[in-house]
C-alpha cells in the first residue's frame, strides 16, 4: 500500500515480507532517482523474513551462528542486526538538500521518532551515551534494546533507517551480538506487555514523523542533547551508525570523525 502526500513524499507500507536483496535494489534505485530529481522522497514501512545484516563496522566474531539465517552485507553504518517478522523496519529515503545537510541532526531526529512513538504507547525509551539505538530500563535495572538504527547517506540522500521490535521472536537475536554490544539484552513491545498491532504502530510513526521531519520537507530543528550514561558504558569501542560525514560535494570525509564530539551516535 502506497500513498503520496500532497507534499509529494511517498508513504509506503508493504503488507507481505520483503526479501532483503529486493529492498536493497529498490533503495539504491530510488536514491539515484531522488538525487536526479525524478522521484519523490520515500518512507517505506516493511517487514523482512528472518535474516542478519552486517554494517560497515561489523566484526565477524559477533556472528555467533552464521548458519542460522541468511547474512547480507547491508552497506549501511553499524554492525550486525537481526530483521524478521514482527519487527517494524522503516527505511527513510530523504533529501537532506531540502531538510538540512546535517547527518548528526538526521540521526538524532530518527532516534526521536522512535522515542516519541514508543512514548505514545506508554513506553519510556531513551538514548544511551556510547550506544546507538533506543533502550528501555527494566524493573530489575537492566537495560534492553528495543530499536536499532543504521543509515547511509549518498550525495545528501539518505537510506536505510530504523527497526522497532514490536513482536519479533527474540530468540532469533541470539545468533549475533546485536550491534556489537554483548552486555545488554533485547526486548520488544510485546515482551513489555503491549498488544499493539503493526497498523497501530504505523499510524503513530507517521504522526511523529510529521511532527519531527514534516511530510512537507523543512529544515530539521531538534536541539541535540547529550544522552545519559547507561549502567555500562561502551563508549571506548563504539562505532558509528552511518559510514562517514558527507561533504558538500557528496563524497565521504573521514578526516574529522564526528564520534569525537558526538558520542551519543556511537554503537
Residue numbers annotated as active site? 179
Please name the residue that has the C-alpha cell 511530510: 215
The grid cell for 192 is 513489555
Cβ atoms of 63 and 80 closer than 8 Å: yes
Say what angle helices 103-119 and 198-212 make with each other, to 10 degrees. Answer: 140
DSSP for 62-97, written as a single string: GBS-TTTS-EEE--SSSSEEEE-TTEEEEEEE-BHH
Find all residues with CB under 8 Å of 108, minimum gap 6, and list them. Answer: 222, 224, 264, 265
Exposed, middle or buried, 267 (CB in 10 Å: 0-12/13-18/19+)? buried
Query: Whole-angstrom Cα distance, residue 227 to residue 27?
Result: 30
Q: Are 49 and 43 in contact (CB under 8 A)?
A: no
Alpha carbon distance 42, 93 (integer Å): 5
Cell numbers placing 153 = 547517506
Amino acid at each position: 500500500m502506497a500513498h503520496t502526500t500532497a507534499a509529494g513524499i511517498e508513504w509506503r507500507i508493504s503488507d507481505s515480507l520483503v526479501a532483503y536483496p529486493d529492498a536493497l535494489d529498490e533503495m539504491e534505485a530510488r536514491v539515484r532517482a531522488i538525487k536526479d530529481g525524478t522521484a519523490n522522497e520515500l518512507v517505506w514501512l516493511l517487514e523482512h523474513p528472518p535474516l542478519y545484516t552486517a554494517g560497515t563496522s561489523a566484526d565477524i566474531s559477533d556472528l555467533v551462528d552464521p548458519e542460522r539465517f541468511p547474512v547480507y552485507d547491508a552497506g549501511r553504518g553499524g554492525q550486525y542486526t537481526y530483521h524478521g517478522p514482527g519487527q517494524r523496519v522503516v527505511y527513510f529515503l530523504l533529501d537532506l538538500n531540502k531538510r538540512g545537510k546535517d547527518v548528526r541532526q538526521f540521526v538524532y531526529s530518527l532516534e526521536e521518532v522512535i522515542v516519541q512513538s514508543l512514548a505514545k504507547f506508554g513506553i519510556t525509551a531513551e538514548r544511551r551515551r556510547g550506544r546507538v539505538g533506543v533502550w528501555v530500563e527494566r524493573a530489575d535495572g537492566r537495560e534492553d534494546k528495543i530499536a536499532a538504527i543504521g543509515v547511509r547517506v549518498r550525495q545528501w540522500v539518505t537510506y536505510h533507517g530504523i527497526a522497532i521490535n514490536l513482536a519479533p521472536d527474540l530468540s532469533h537475536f541470539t545468533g549475533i551480538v546485536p550491534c556489537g554490544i554483548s552486555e545488554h539484552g533485547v526486548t520488544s513491545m510485546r515482551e513489555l506487555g503491549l498488544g499493539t498491532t503493526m497498523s497501530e504502530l504505523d499510524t503513530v510513526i507517521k504522526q511523529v514523523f510529521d511532527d519531527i521531519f514534516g511530510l512537507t520537507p523543512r529544515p530539521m530543528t531538534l536541539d541535540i542533547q547529550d544522552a545519559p550514561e547507561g549502567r555500562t558504558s561502551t563508549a571506548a569501542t563504539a562505532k558509528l551508525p552511518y559510514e562517514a560525514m558527507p561533504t558538500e560535494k557528496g563524497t565521504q570525509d573521514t578526516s574529522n570523525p564526528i564520534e569525537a564530539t558526538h558520542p551519543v551516535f556511537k554503537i
